[in-house]
């Protein structure tokens, strides 16, 4: 009766909800710590009901998107699958490329247009045969993905947005180059914050904003799980695009990129422990500046998310239903 009363008060008392409640009650009698069964029918019934609830009646979901340069385009594939499967997203946090992709999605940009961003970025790679080192050299000659291109793209697509009028609550991370302080952006103009978060040190000049000199946030918070929690998320899904260096660096700049990647992996390991579920697209062989592989990275993100979607839903349902049961 308490379960029925709970749903009735939230104005979603229907025959189908009553059926769901009966199933929940039956499950609760079997175990004090509810585990969602592998029965697809039960899972589908529960899923349909839970995703129609709003926080705090279900755990608020935060999606944390890591940095990673070109590897970060895997987040596009992750978001595409989550969106098409109606997986709830209540908050988004991002660093570097994760900040760009997260901000575009938070602005309610259509997924097709976000994929087009990847295609446009990839087309700026003169030849697929160029090594990562040559790609970095091209950056300095304004041929690959120069500050001008990034600035123009972000201003065109995000220049009219403030954090306050995004569809999804969003935050991103940058670092003060002088002090090493982590700067969390969650208010004010979105375009400046995203540019700062994706501003690779040693390649692009620090962005001056409010007496600070800002660079890529991946140096201090590669996977901003903590930032998603600050926004209000109770249940964290992390998308991680780490590197897997296979060769020794060939130049000072390439060494810098690899050091940043290694630093990011160390920070990421700690953050993953704080997440409730982790997606790890297999993009480790894609180098930070391999922007010709943006679409490849995105497709890998699709594969990873599809392969884990059933487990992801079960993990979230288990925690969501347990939250509901505790409120009864």
pLDDT of residue 130: 39
Residues near 3 by Cβ (< 8 Å), separated by ≥ 6?
21, 24, 25, 328
214-225 pLDDT, tens digit each? 999 998 999 999
96 is catalytic: yes
Residue 99 DSSP SS3: helix
Residue 273 DSSP SS3: helix
Compute the chain's Rg from CA coordinates.
Answer: 21
Contact yes or no for 242/288 (Cβ under 8 A)? no
216 is catalytic: yes
143-153 pLDDT, tens digit each? 334 567 778 89
Span between the terminal Cα atoms of the chain, in Å: 10
Q: What is the Cα–Cα distance from 264 to 245, expressed in whole angstroms?
A: 13
For the record, the structure tokens of 178 come out as 């002088």
184-230 pLDDT, tens digit each? 999 999 999 999 999 987 778 889 999 999 999 998 999 999 999 99
Contact yes or no for 245/69 (Cβ under 8 A)? no
User: What domains sit in the chain, N to C, each tagged with a CATH number?
Assistant: 60-308 (3.40.1090.10)
pLDDT of residue 2: 43
Mean pLDDT confidence for 9-13: 43
Mean pLDDT confidence for 101-130: 82
pLDDT greater than 50 at residue 291? yes
- Of the candidates 63, 71, 64, 65, the one whose C-alpha atom is nearest the C-alpha of residue 261 is 71
For the record, the structure tokens of 164 come out as 């306050």
- Of 96, 239, 243, 265, which one is the catalytic site residue? 96
**Chain center to CA of 122:** 21
Tokens 């379960």, residue located: 3
pLDDT greater than 70 at residue 246? no
253-270 pLDDT, tens digit each? 566 666 677 766 777 788
In the chain, count H helices and then E strands.
12, 8
User: What letter does residue 128 receive in the DSSP assignment?
Assistant: T
Mean pLDDT, the chain, integer: 82
pLDDT greater than 90 at residue 126? no
pLDDT tier at 251, thresholds 50, 70, 90: low
What sign for the dihedral angle of Cα 96, 99, 102, 105? negative
pLDDT of residue 326: 81
Q: What is the Cα–Cα distance from 301 to 65, expressed in whole angstroms?
A: 12
pLDDT of residue 131: 44
pLDDT of residue 200: 83
pLDDT of residue 142: 45
User: What letter does residue 164 receive in the DSSP assignment?
Assistant: G
pLDDT of residue 23: 53
- Of 216, 276, 290, 319, which one is the catalytic site residue? 216
pLDDT tier at 1, thresholds 50, 70, 90: very low
pLDDT tier at 236, thresholds 50, 70, 90: very high
pLDDT of residue 250: 61
pLDDT of residue 60: 98
33-78 pLDDT, tens digit each? 455 555 677 778 888 889 999 999 999 999 999 999 899 999 999 9
275-285 pLDDT, tens digit each? 999 999 999 88
């Amino acid at each position: 009766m308490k379960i029925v009363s709970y749903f009735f008060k939230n104005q979603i008392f229907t025959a189908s909800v009553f059926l769901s409640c009966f199933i929940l009650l039956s499950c609760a009698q079997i175990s004090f710590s509810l585990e969602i069964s592998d029965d697809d029918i039960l899972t589908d019934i529960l899923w349909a009901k839970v995703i129609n609830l709003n926080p705090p009646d279900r755990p608020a979901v935060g999606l944390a998107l890591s940095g990673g340069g070109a590897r970060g385009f895997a987040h596009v594939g992750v978001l595409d699958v989550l969106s098409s499967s109606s997986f709830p997203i209540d908050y988004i946090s991002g660093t570097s490329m994760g900040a760009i992709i997260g901000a575009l999605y938070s602005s309610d940009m259509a997924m097709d247009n976000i994929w087009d961003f990847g295609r446009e970025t990839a087309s700026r790679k003169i030849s697929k045969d160029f090594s990562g080192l040559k790609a970095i050299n091209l950056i300095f000659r304004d041929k690959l993905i120069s500050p001008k291109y990034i600035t123009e793209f972000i201003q065109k697509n995000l220049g009219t947005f403030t954090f306050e009028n995004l569809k999804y609550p969003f935050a991103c991370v940058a670092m003060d180059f002088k002090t090493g302080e982590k700067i969390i952006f969650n208010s004010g103009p979105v375009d400046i914050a995203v540019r700062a978060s994706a501003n690779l040190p040693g390649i692009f000049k620090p962005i001056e904003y409010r007496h600070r000199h800002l660079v890529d946030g991946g140096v201090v918070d590669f996977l901003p799980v903590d930032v998603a929690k600050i926004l209000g998320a109770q249940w964290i899904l992390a998308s991680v695009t780490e590197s897997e260096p296979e060769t020794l660096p060939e130049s000072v700049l390439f060494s810098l990129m690899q050091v940043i990647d290694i630093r990011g992996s160390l920070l990421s390991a700690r953050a993953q422990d704080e997440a409730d579920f982790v997606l790890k697209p297999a993009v480790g062989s894609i180098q930070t500046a391999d922007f010709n592989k943006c679409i490849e990275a995105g497709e890998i993100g699709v594969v990873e998310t599809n392969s884990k979607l059933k487990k992801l839903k079960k993990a979230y349902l288990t925690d969501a239903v347990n939250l509901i049961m505790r409120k009864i």
